[in-house]
């Protein structure tokens, strides 16, 4: 075997139509005989094969195979091209492609010989002199092997000097195998590593006339070019370990800090979920921390001394209170309350709804980037507070929702949902759009689409009020005046609600007359709940104003109520020392006498 050192060899085989099939078989054998004498491998000799005729075909590159068996299999599968003889084109390919590092050639600084073996049987149909010179100047050593009808002048123009060692003419294809044995000696020179004391600590690599030292994997060659030092793979900072890098011989391992485990990528770390072990005994929530866990109670509960169980501090958060509007905790209990203007019903939980009549209500909410996700959730709660005021049904009040930013999106039309619960659930599932603030575009969409009969608005002939509520937190990026005017001209009662940086001028332009009753403003999102009451007073005026019941002053219930109120007032006046005691006593006596008369009747 040829073991003088690594080589990068590329066979350039002529498969033009002049090479008959049985002749091409001898060229296959020639290549396999040469390869059989070489010590092939990724760190030894690498071999590539191309064939050419009128075009060039890469059979396998220097990086494709590293065993003789794989190379021979690929050579045996070659199908000749059987066309012209463009030898210059083939040399160009060798120089520009085959001997690049991308195709598997070792870098020039490693001084590994680059050898091209051109085997041809005829005269080139293109120019070879100039391109062959360029290839030789690029460090490629060219052997030119001509068979039978080959042109000697062309062979000499291609080959490297000295020509007597690089130009060969074989009389017939039958003799090429015999020539192959002689050619092997040309490739296999003296093993310089065996001929002298190289001094390499690990490995000596022989090259023609010289040698160089290489280190084993995990080591780097020192500046003396002979000794080797272990590589600290953690030093360069490219290891990608999230926590700790531990250097090993020629490599590294990533380790995680205590309380964390290494993920499958072998670099990142995740905290150990101690709660997932199932033995924490927390009544409410278990929270994992490095090296352990702790128990946490839900809002409205307090952790007990055992650090596991929880006790309610706010019964409204601890029970399913069922309050329609709001639950208020009291000592050891709770009670339900309703918004101002609504009455608590007999079940102690439900509140009276807006009885002003049936309306078609479309709410247009600002989903621009300036709102921000956490505030958008407050906007959705605001919408649901308004829904709580309404008697929603197919024949009662209908509600639609539109969101806008740089574009407009109908979240649900007027005819989509038929109950308050359905609407509130759909509102909470609305996804925040972000981006710009095109309020004018949203108004246009509301007028042209949202209040159309196709989307559930009742015909104008039914005289069902159409109400549009526009919610925004900033200046519009387009003109609102035209579509605000058109909305009102089409019979839509417009309400404008502004928060934060909303522009009052724009809010007033949107709002219907009288403007003061149709626009509201809040400084920030967290304090905008009072706007719901403002809206309620305008769409449910009788709820806000209330009604005074006219009753006969002679009815028993009226007299009892009168007595109770009067006594309370007198008691208050007495505490302020406005009335003297005898007057109070006389008044009280007369009231008691009046009560007896009623009882006797």
How many Cα atoms within 13 Å fall on the side-chain side of residue 349?
7
Please tell me whether residue 97 adopts helix, strand or coil conformation.
helix
Which residue in the block uniquely carries the two structure tokens 């007028």?
447
- Alpha-carbon distances, residue 400 vs 16, 108, 410, 532, 600 (angstroms): 78, 74, 8, 17, 61
**End-to-end C-alpha distance for the chain, whole angstroms:** 137
- Tell me how far apart the 2 most distant CA atoms of the chain are, in Å: 153
pLDDT in the model for residue 356: 47
Burial readout 177-204 (b: 16 or more C-beta within 10 A, e: otherwise)? eebbeebbeebbeeebbeeeebebbeeb
Around 567, how many Cα atoms within 13 Å sit in the side-chain half-sphere? 13
pLDDT at 91 over 90: yes
**Quick one: 242 exposed, middle or buried, by C-beta within 10 A (0-12, 13-18, 19+)?**
middle
Q: Are 377 and 409 in contact (CB under 8 A)?
A: no
Q: Which of the two residues, 583 and 293, has the higher pLDDT score?
A: 293
Average pLDDT over residues 328-349: 74
The pair of three-digit structure tokens given for residue 517, joined into one six-digit string: 């009753």
pLDDT at position 572: 56
| Domains of the chain and any CATH numbers | 7-188 (3.40.50.410), 314-353 (2.10.25.10), 360-539 (3.40.50.410)
The CA distance from 254 to 268, in Å, is: 8
What is the SS3 string spanning 467-503? EEEEEECCCCCCCCHHHHHHHHHCCEEEEEEEECCCC
Angstrom distance (rounded) from CA 4 to CA 188: 6
Q: What is the dihedral of CA 581, 583, 587, 589, to 10 degrees?
A: 60
CA distances from 258 to 202, 234, 290 (A): 39, 20, 7
High-pLDDT (> 90) share of the chain, %: 42
pLDDT of residue 462: 85
Give pTM, 2 decimals: 0.37
Q: Please state the rounded mean pLDDT for residues 99-120.
A: 93
Q: Residue 94 corresponds to which tokens in the numbers above? A: 């060798």
Q: Please, which pLDDT band fits residue 129 given cuts at 50, 70 and 90? A: very high
Q: For residue 514, is the peptide bond before it cis, meaning its omega torsion is within 30 degrees of 0?
A: yes
Cβ contact 557:565 at 8 Å: no
Mean of all residue pLDDT scores within the chain? 83
pLDDT digits (tens, 9 = 90+) for 135-187: 999 999 999 988 878 889 999 999 999 888 888 888 766 666 656 665 665 66
Strands of the sheet containing 140-147, edge to edge, are 56-60, 46-52, 8-14, 114-120, 140-147, 167-170
The rounded radius of gyration (Å) of the Cα atoms in the chain is: 48
φ, ψ at 46 (rounded to 5°) = -110, 145
CB 101 within 8 Å of CB 63: no
For 6-20, 262-276, 280-294, 563-577, which range has the lowest pLDDT when averaged over its residues? 563-577
pLDDT at 51 over 70: yes
Q: Is residue 443 predicted with pLDDT exceeding 60?
A: yes
pLDDT of 102 over the 60 cut: yes
* Higher per-residue pLDDT: 404 or 212: 404
> So what's the pLDDT on residue 357?
59
Quick one: average pLDDT of 94-111?
94
Say yes or no to pLDDT of 20 above 90: no
- For the segment 536-594, what is each residue's pLDDT rounded down to a tens digit? 666 664 443 433 333 444 445 555 555 665 655 555 555 544 444 455 566 666 667 76
Work out the average pLDDT over 367-375: 90
Positive or negative, the CA dihedral 547, 553, 554, 560 is positive
% of the chain at pLDDT higher than 70: 80
Residues 6+ apart with CB under 8 A from 395: 358
């Amino acid at each position: 075997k040829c073991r003088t050192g690594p080589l990068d060899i590329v066979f350039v085989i002529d498969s033009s139509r002049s090479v008959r099939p049985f002749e091409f078989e001898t060229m296959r054998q020639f290549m396999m005989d040469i390869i059989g004498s070489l010590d092939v491998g990724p760190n030894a000799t690498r071999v590539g094969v191309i064939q050419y005729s009128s075009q060039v075909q890469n059979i396998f590159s220097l990086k494709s195979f590293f065993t003789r068996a794989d190379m021979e299999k690929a050579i045996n599968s070659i199908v000749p091209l059987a066309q012209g003889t463009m030898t210059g084109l083939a040399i160009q390919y060798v120089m520009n492609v085959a001997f690049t590092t991308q195709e598997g050639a070792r870098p020039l600084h490693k001084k590994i010989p680059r050898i091209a073996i051109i085997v041809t049987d005829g005269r080139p149909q293109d120019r070879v002199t100039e391109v062959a010179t360029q290839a030789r100047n690029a460090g490629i050593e060219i052997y030119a092997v001509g068979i039978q009808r080959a042109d000697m002048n062309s062979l000499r123009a291609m080959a490297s000097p000295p020509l007597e060692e690089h130009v060969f003419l074989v009389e017939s294809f039958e003799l090429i195998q015999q020539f192959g044995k002689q050619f092997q000696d040309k490739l296999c020179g003296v093993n310089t590593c065996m001929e002298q004391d190289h001094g390499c600590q690990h490995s000596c690599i022989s090259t023609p006339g010289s040698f160089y030292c290489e280190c084993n994997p995990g080591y780097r060659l020192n500046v003396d070019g002979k000794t080797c030092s272990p590589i600290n793979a953690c030093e360069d900072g490219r290891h990608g370990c999230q926590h700790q890098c531990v250097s090993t011989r020629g490599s590294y391992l990533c380790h995680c800090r205590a309380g964390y485990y290494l993920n499958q990528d072998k670099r990142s770390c995740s905290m150990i979920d101690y709660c997932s072990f199932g033995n924490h005994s927390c009544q409410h929530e278990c929270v994992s921390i490095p090296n352990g866990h702790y128990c946490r109670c839900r809002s409205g509960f307090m952790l007990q001394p055992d650090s596991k169980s929880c006790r309610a501090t706010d019964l409204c958060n601890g029970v399913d209170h069922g309050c329609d509007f709001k639950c208020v905790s009291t000592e050891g209990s709770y009670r339900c309350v309703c918004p101002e203007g609504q009455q608590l019903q007999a079940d102690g939980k439900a509140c009276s709804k807006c009885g002003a009549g049936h309306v078609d209500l479309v709410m247009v909410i600002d989903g621009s980037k300036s709102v921000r996700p956490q505030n958008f959730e407050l906007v959705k709660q605001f919408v649901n507070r308004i829904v709580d005021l309404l008697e929603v049904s197919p024949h009662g009040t209908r509600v639609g929702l539109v969101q806008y930013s740089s574009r407009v999106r109908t979240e649900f039309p007027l005819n989509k949902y038929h109950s308050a619960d359905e609407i509130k659930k759909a509102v909470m599932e609305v996804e925040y759009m972000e981006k710009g603030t095109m309020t004018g575009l949203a108004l246009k969409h509301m007028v042209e689409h949202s209040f159309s009969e196709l989307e559930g608005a009742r015909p104008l002939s039914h005289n069902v009020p159409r109400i549009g509520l526009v919610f925004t937190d900033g200046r519009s990026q387009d003109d609102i005046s035209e579509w605000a005017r058109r909305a009102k001209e089409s019979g839509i009662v417009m309400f404008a609600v502004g928060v934060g940086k909303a522009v009052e001028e724009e809010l007033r332009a949107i709002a219907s007359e009288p403007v003061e009753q149709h626009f509201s403003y809040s400084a920030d999102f967290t304090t905008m709940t009072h706007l719901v009451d403002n809206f309620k007073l305008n769409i449910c005026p009788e709820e806000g104003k209330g009604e005074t019941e006219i009753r006969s002053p002679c009815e028993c219930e009226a007299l009892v109520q009168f007595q109770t109120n009067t006594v309370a007032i007198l008691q208050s006046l007495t505490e302020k020392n406005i009335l003297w005691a005898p007057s109070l006593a006389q008044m009280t006596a007369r009231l008691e006498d009046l009560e007896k008369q009623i009882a006797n009747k």
